[in-house]
Chain A
Amino acid sequence: MKFINLLTHLFVPHVSNNQKAKILHPSSLSLIVVFLIAFQIVLSFTHGTFPRVLGYAASIPPSEVIRLTNAQRVANGLPALSENSTLDSAALAKGNDMLAKGYWAHFAPDGTSPWSFFTSLGYKYRYAGENLARDFSDPTSVVSAWMNSPSHRENILNPNYGEIGVGVIEGILSGADTTIIVQFFGLPLSGAPSVPIAKANEVSTVVAVSSPLPTPGVAASSFISPFQTTKGLSLGVTGLLLLVLSVDLIVVRRRRIARIGGRTLAHLAYLGMILAVILILKAGQII
């Protein structure tokens, strides 16, 4: 009986809670906010201390990234790029360099440029470009994220490129397991028309996280994704509040309760939007 009274007090308008579910009182909402912030602090601590527990791993076949990239080019009336094994190796070397030096950028902290990976492996380019991505669960999400970003899309649909190389590497970056995807574009100097050598193309990067899907090769399930954990908690909190607000709306109407406070319908609409955003948020950080 006490338990039922407690539930009523927390979730249903009642005399005990001044005709408004206790969880909807500003003091309770503030407590939820404090809890959510504390949860993020704990998550960050766990992330840093136990990278093998909270992290991200996925298997992304480079050939599939290339196939999807070419599909986008063909769909936009451009010729498909041919895979170049030197560019593949250069992309892999770039990924390894990022993990070894612990950076997530086009240029290494020591000034190493993306283009040095082209030339160090003997790939002399007339045009060159780079797209980076990390923490995606599947190749489709990677290419979709790139296509949604104007600068990366420009790289993918650049008619100056003739070849492509993709490197996918997994390792620990900033204390967490990460899957890095490096996409290199190029047009070799030898294959170019006899015009002056051009500068390398502008580079751009996409960082994204999306829901982990079971992928072959790597046991993605052995990790707890910080993003998915946060998303689950956010869905739970927002869903609970929406439910309580719906009950509140019905009970207050039926009992014709007059009280001082915000409009329940407005709160429902705002939290409904928050719920919609939680559901669509899955990828994309651009640097």
Chain B
Amino acid sequence: MKKFVKDLSHYLSLFGILLAGFAGFILFSYDKNFQMSVALATAGAYVAWGIVHHAIHNDLYLETIIEYVAIAILGSVIIFSLIIRS
């Protein structure tokens, strides 16, 4: 909890990114191509956030980046498959 409060500004920016991505999905529900772009942009921003956050904490390692990329790819694949099927 202490760590979360200490990094509050970091997490607030992450929540802002994710909230913007979610809002994009709702606002552009009629445009599938735009929704796909939003999914990609959100995933990219999430990975970028992870890199910056860990770089600031001096604990940025290749394994960490791979972990963020893997989760971002997983999220994107899920959203893409749903958009394609809808």
Q: Are A and B a genuine interacting pair, yes or no?
A: yes
Query: Complex: how many Å from CA A260 to CA B52?
Result: 16
Q: Select which of B21, B22, B30, B42 is within 8 A of A286 by beta carbon.
A: B30
Within 8 A of A (CB), among B33-86: 39, 42, 46, 49-50, 53-54, 59, 61, 63-64, 66-75, 77-79, 81-86
- Total CB contacts across the A-B interface at under 8 A: 132
Q: Check A209–B50 contact: CB distance below 8 A.
A: no
What residues on B are CB-neighbors of A26 within 8 Å?
63, 66-67, 69-70
Q: Check B81–A234 contact: CB distance below 8 A.
A: yes
Q: Check A208–B86 contact: CB distance below 8 A.
A: yes
Q: Check A274–B29 contact: CB distance below 8 A.
A: no
Residues of A in contact with B, size category: 35 or more
What residues on B are CB-neighbors of A80 within 8 Å?
none
Q: Select which of B25, B63, B71 is within 8 A of A29 by beta carbon.
A: B71
Residues of B in contact with A, size category: 35 or more
Q: Check A227–B85 contact: CB distance below 8 A.
A: yes
Q: A216-252 vs B: 1/0 string, CB under 8 Å?
A: 0000000000110011001001100100000000000
B73's nearest neighbour on chain A, judged by CB, is: A33
Q: Select which of A231, A262, A281 is within 8 A of B68 by beta carbon.
A: A262
Query: Complex: how many Å from CA A273 to CA B54?
Result: 21
What residues on A are CB-neighbors of B22 within 8 Å?
273, 276-277
* Residue A267 CB within 8 A of the other chain: yes
What residues on A are CB-neighbors of B15 within 8 Å?
269
A interface list, Cβ under 8 A from B: 24, 26, 29-30, 32-33, 36-37, 40, 43, 145, 148-150, 152, 206, 208-209, 226-227, 230-231, 234, 237-238, 241, 260-263, 265-267, 269-274, 276-278, 280-286
B interface list, Cβ under 8 A from A: 4, 11, 14-15, 18-19, 21-22, 25-26, 29-32, 39, 42, 46, 49-50, 53-54, 59, 61, 63-64, 66-75, 77-79, 81-86
Task: Please give 4 more A-B residue pairs, beta carbons under 8 A apart, in addition to A266-B49, A286-B32.
Answer: A26-B67, A29-B71, A37-B81, A286-B30
